[in-house]
Amino acid sequence: MTDIVLEIIRASIVAIIFVLLYSSGKNKCIRDQQGWFFIVAGFGLILLGTVIDISDNFPTLNKYIIIGDTEYQAFIEKVVGYLCGFLLLAVGFWKWLPIVIRLKKTERALKEANNFLELKVKERTAQLEEEIQERKLAEAEKEKIEVNLRHAQKMEAVGTMAGGIAHNFNNILGSCIGYAEMAKGEITEGSSVYSDIEQVLIAAHRAKKLVQQIMIFSTQEDFPKEKFQPDILLHEALNSIKNSIPKNIIVDENISSVVGEINIDPFQFEKVVENISMNALDAMRDGEGVLEIILERIELKSEDILAESDVEPGDFVKLTISDTGHGIGSENMERIFDPFFTTKEVGKGDGIGLSVVHGIVRKSGGMIKAESEVGKGSRFHVFLPVVETVLGGDEPAS
């Protein structure tokens, strides 16, 4: 009984394979392949032999397939069914296997080509994304340079106009001060007129200082430059404004003494420190805060100063003055160095301090950068070129 079950299972497997192979012949590409017919015929003969072999155990079935148990039946079963079947299978696979191997090789080659193309596409996509990013950065840098150029041109035009006005106004003030001094000398001291003349002179001298700042901003006022280590003068400038620092403000100093020499008028350097520091203190008048002063030496490369056409790459003294005040809105950041621009209340600022700083720094071959965030404070970076003494001469070299 076990042998019959095994033969039925064998016949079922052969039948399924035969049906699948025969059904695959509906596909013309498969049907036209060499060896397909031999394989189908081989499995068909093996199936026939298997059925005849099983029929020996079922007389009723046997009479429909082979009548009688004769030697001819055995010949058909063993030789024609199995031997011819396996022979046809061998011929079929001999013709079909090379085709299958070629197809597999072709499929593998196509897969490798596809993977290669996908890799190239990914690489090219990455290159395009990098180029797009570089182009965006270049466009942003170009726009930044154009903005800085327009601002520099505007500042130059405003400075030229302001310088001309200041020069003429200074001449008028000189006459007013001179005549007031002469009038003061002819009036009895202690009289009301004498007191009035003194107030006129005080106001005139204040106006003269303002005119001097305007002329500094317009770069029309020349000051003798000196080479010096900025750390000592920075300490002196900070000491001069300590009386103006409220008790609720903490001063954090990080001043290096080995930054090198700068070539600038000492009075102007003090003016830079004083104006930026006073602005920082004004931003923290309403509450507690920190005034931080950092002095260090850094190197600026060409890519760091693309937007600064008048600045040469090299070593710089970097002065950073920051505060934790109310900050400056983005809508005002582009105007903070404009003359007479101020966000303070009327009477609390003339709007000339930062423009004077800008003029001093630019005239000294440096640059100034500002960054701010509303509610967190502001930070000003002043860059002044380091100078070295040339052996055998007094001229400084950058």
| pLDDT band at residue 115 under the 50/70/90 scheme | very high
Give the whole-angstrom CA distance, residue 277 versus residue 244.
10
The gap between the terminal CA atoms of the chain, to the nearest Å, is 108
Structure tokens at 6: 């095994």
**Kind of pairing, strands 396-397 and 367-373?**
unpaired
Q: 221-230 as b/e, with b when 16 or more CB fall inside 10 Å?
A: beeebeeeeb
Contact 369, 380 (CB under 8 A): yes
Most confident of 243-252, 341-350, 363-372: 363-372
| pLDDT band at residue 393 under the 50/70/90 scheme | very low
Average pLDDT over residues 171-191: 84
Quick one: pLDDT at residue 141? Answer: 77
Tally of CB atoms within 10 A around 372:
21
Structure tokens at 370: 């500002």
Mean pLDDT over all residues of the chain?
78
Burial of 170 (0-12, 13-18, 19+ CB in 10 A): middle
Tell me: the pLDDT tens digits for 47-79? Answer: 777 776 666 665 555 555 554 456 566 566 666
Angle at the Cα of 317 (from 316 to 320), degrees rounded to 5? Answer: 125
